[in-house]
Amino acid sequence: MAAANGGDSKGFEVPKLEIKFTKLFINGRFVDAVSGKTFETRDPRTGEVIAKIAEGDKADIDLAVKAAREAFDHGPWPRMSGFARGRILHKFADLVEQHVEELAALDTVDAGKLFAMGKLVDIPGGANLLRYYAGAADKVHGETLKMARPCHGYTLKEPVGVVGHIVPWNYPTTMFFFKASPALAAGCTMVVKPAEQTPLSALFYAHLAKLAGVPDGVLNVVPGFGPTAGAAISSHMDIDKVSFTGSTEVGRLVMEAAAKSNLKPVSLELGGKSPVIVFDDADLDTAVNLVHMASYTNKGEICVAGSRIYVQEGIYDAFVKKATEMAKKSVVGDPFNPRVHQGPQIDKEQYEKILKYIDIGKREGATLVTGGKPCGENGYYIEPTIFTDVKEEMSIAQEEIFGPVMALMKFKTVEEAIQKANSTRYGLAAGIVTKNIDVANTVSRSIRAGAIWINCYFGFDPDVPFGGYKMSGFGKDMGMDALEKYLHTKAVVTPLYNTPWL
């Protein structure tokens, strides 16, 4: 295993970073929490405190919702043309692009994400989502209906109102824009609760939104904890919709609270245990590289991580050998180091959870081929880990670990692969590696998951809707499907008299 510090620490710089925004953003201003409380956000590279953040709770959510309600009921945002909203979203995207380095650095110190990937993918991707929905904002329209009686009927698409967004910690920027971009384009106002582990970039985006011309009260950001601020959003009587990304367990609580309050609709993007199926005809090197990426991207802290790997028996042994060699070459260390492939886990709790699952895997009889240990003197680093001899009933094959742990299993036939891939309560994504188009078509139509990636992985794009089946939730992010979930459809009918045609 490569050194935990990424080898020689010389040759890379950690950018100087000023934490500019630590207060709640409500009604266009940064303010202290009503309680005056703060909480610490920590750097997973070292465990040290980065900053103290204002801690929002129910009282602060009430103020943010009040501002959002006023902005929706009486403000300009839902009343301006889609074209005008789109121009502001383009300005927002421009400002994001102007601050790529600073924003990427915030997500690196807050979440342990690779700095290079933040600059190349995450931050530009957020700007791209804004631009996609900026272009869609003036293309929201209903339909003219052909009624069977002398009436003129048509539908209107109207913004749902005030939205509560609850954002996870693994992709702070991406998830912020997954949710805020289509809701803003639709004309909604909102309260965003970033994860308590990663509030820094969300507060910066609130600042940029104000500079771009988003009116006060439209976008409010309230950092806080799930049982207080998150629960207040889910149960609030004046929030019209909740969009949540996180664990299936918390998703249940969000849905329950929404039902018990004002029966607000919810969209949930929840856990995953995604299979990648590698067939005998696959190019071995390509397959190993793809599976390595699927399992270890973002240190395995990704809902669609390819954590169940099914390899057909003809190439299984060769695959295990090459996958192990690649995992051993992976460099774990400081995410600011451009030589590093894998940074630290988000925090001590997640770090200990992953190590516990690794221990469970060994105790349940799986074979630890490589990795499985902490590395480094400071911070929350774990070696890329591979298990073989994994059985379907094992915890490491059924439960979402959210860490750099690959479970390798063997199969014989296409039918067996499909059965094994579907033997999970989750249904978020799946990968297929084969040169046979007939096999690819059969398997992609047989797996019960919301995203199927053939001879690729992480096939995300602003135009491609993303969301799960089964206990991975419901509702889509990205694509025009995401815009639709922030719109109501209203039917309007008026009688026709003396009309020459119907």
230 assigned to some structural domain: yes
Q: What is the pLDDT of residues 311-331, one digit of tens each?
A: 999 999 999 999 999 999 999
- Residue 269 is among the residues annotated as catalytic for this protein: yes
Are 279 and 266 in a shared domain? no
The average pLDDT across 105-113 equals 98
State how many domains the chain has: 2
CA distances from 158 to 84, 155, 161, 211, 399 (A): 16, 10, 9, 26, 40
Confidence of residue 415 (pLDDT cuts 50, 70, 90): very high
Domain containing residue 444: CATH number: 3.40.309.10
Are 115 and 194 in a shared domain? yes
Mean pLDDT of the chain: 96
Are 265 and 287 in a shared domain? no
* 360: number of Cβ within 10 Å: 15
Are 110 and 210 in a shared domain? yes
Distance, in Å, from the CA atom of 373 to the CA atom of 384, rounded to the nearest integer, reads 9
- Active-site pick, 55, 269, 301, 400: 269
What is the per-residue pLDDT for 9?
A: 52
Q: Which residue has the higher pLDDT, 172 or 8?
A: 172
Q: What is the pLDDT of residues 207-234, one digit of tens each?
A: 999 999 999 999 999 999 999 999 999 9
| Lowest-confidence segment of 9-23, 284-298, 434-448 by average pLDDT | 9-23
pLDDT greater than 90 at residue 2: no
Contact in structure between 5 and 334 (CB atoms under 8 Å): yes
Confidence of residue 3 (pLDDT cuts 50, 70, 90): low
324 assigned to some structural domain: yes
pLDDT greater than 80 at residue 11: no
Question: What is the domain range of residue 363?
Answer: 275-461
Are 315 and 383 in a shared domain? yes
pLDDT greater than 70 at residue 348: yes
66 assigned to some structural domain: yes
75 assigned to some structural domain: yes
481 assigned to some structural domain: yes
Are 96 and 139 in a shared domain? yes
Are 190 and 320 in a shared domain? no
What is the per-residue pLDDT for 7?
A: 45
What is the per-residue pLDDT for 58?
A: 98
Structure tokens given for 316 = 């299984």
Are 174 and 232 in a shared domain? yes
* pTM assigned to the model: 0.96
Q: What is the pLDDT of residues 241-278, one digit of tens each?
A: 999 999 999 999 999 999 999 999 999 999 999 999 99
Phi/psi at 443 (nearest 5 deg)?
A: -70, -40
pLDDT greater than 50 at residue 8: no
Do β-strands 162-166 and 241-245 pair in parallel, antiparallel, or remain unpaired?
parallel
78 assigned to some structural domain: yes
Are 382 and 234 in a shared domain? no
Q: What is the pLDDT of residues 483-502, one digit of tens each?
A: 999 999 999 999 999 999 88
Contact in structure between 202 and 23 (CB atoms under 8 Å): no
What is the per-residue pLDDT for 12?
A: 86
Domain containing residue 89: CATH number: 3.40.605.10
17 assigned to some structural domain: no
Are 220 and 171 in a shared domain? yes
Are 259 and 151 in a shared domain? yes
Confidence of residue 4 (pLDDT cuts 50, 70, 90): low
pLDDT greater than 90 at residue 469: yes
Are 264 and 300 in a shared domain? no
